[in-house]
Amino acid sequence: MAQQNYTCHYNESMGFFYNNSGANDKWDKAQLILVQVVGSLFCCFILVSNAMVIAAVITNKRFHYPFYYLLSNLAASDFLAGIAYVYLMFNTGESSRRLTVKEYFIRQGLLDISLSASLSNLLVIALERYISVMNWKVHSNLTKRRVTLLIVLVWAISIFMGAVPSLGWNCICNVGDCSQLAPIFSRSYLIFWSVSNLVVFLVMVVIYLRIYTYVMRKTAVLTPHTSGSINRKRTPIKLIKTVMVVLDCRVIISPCKDTAPESVWRTIHSTPHRPSMNVLSSPPIQKKKGKKKNLYLRTLSIAFRCSAKYP
List beta partners, residue 186.
178
All domains of the chain in start order, with CATH: 2-305 (1.20.1070.10)
For residue 33, which amino acid is it?
I
DSSP 181-236: SSTTSBHHHHHHHHHHHHHHHHHHHHHHHHHHHHHHHHHHHHGGGSSS-S-TTHHH
> Cβ contacts of residue 114 below 8 Å, gap of 6+?
77, 78, 80, 81, 84, 158
pLDDT in tens, 211-230: 888 878 877 776 666 655 55
Task: For residue 244, give the nearest of 192, 308, 289 by alpha carbon.
Answer: 308
Spell 175-210 as b/e; 16+ CB within 10 A means b: beebbebbbbbbbebbbebbeebeebbeebbebbee
Q: Above 50 in pLDDT, residue 168? A: yes
Give the best-scoring range by mean pLDDT among 2-11, 18-27, 243-252, 258-267.
18-27
**pLDDT exceeds cutoff 90 at 159:** yes
Helices 295-305 and 101-134, axial angle in degrees (round to 10): 160
Whole-angstrom Cα distance, residue 71 to residue 84?
A: 20
What is the DSSP code (8-state) at residue 282? S
The pLDDT tens digits of the residues spanning 38-96 come to 888 888 888 998 999 899 989 988 888 888 888 899 999 989 988 988 888 888 777 77
| Mean per-residue pLDDT of the chain | 73
More confident residue, 44 or 141: 44
Q: How confident is the model at residue 255 (pLDDT cuts 50, 70, 90)?
A: very low
The more confidently predicted of residues 300 and 144 is 144
Q: How far apart are the C-alpha atoms of 210 and 193, rounded to whole Å?
A: 26
Tell me what the mean pLDDT of segment 246-252 comes to.
Answer: 45
> What is the predicted pLDDT for the residue at 256?
38
User: What's the pTM value of the predicted model, to 2 decimals?
Assistant: 0.71
User: For residue 115, is pLDDT > 70?
Assistant: yes
Please report the pLDDT score of residue 139 as a whole number.
59
CB atoms within 10 A of CB 174: 14
Give the span between the Cα atoms of 225 and 213, in whole angstroms.
20
Residue 51: predicted pLDDT:
92
Residue 272 above 60 pLDDT? Answer: no
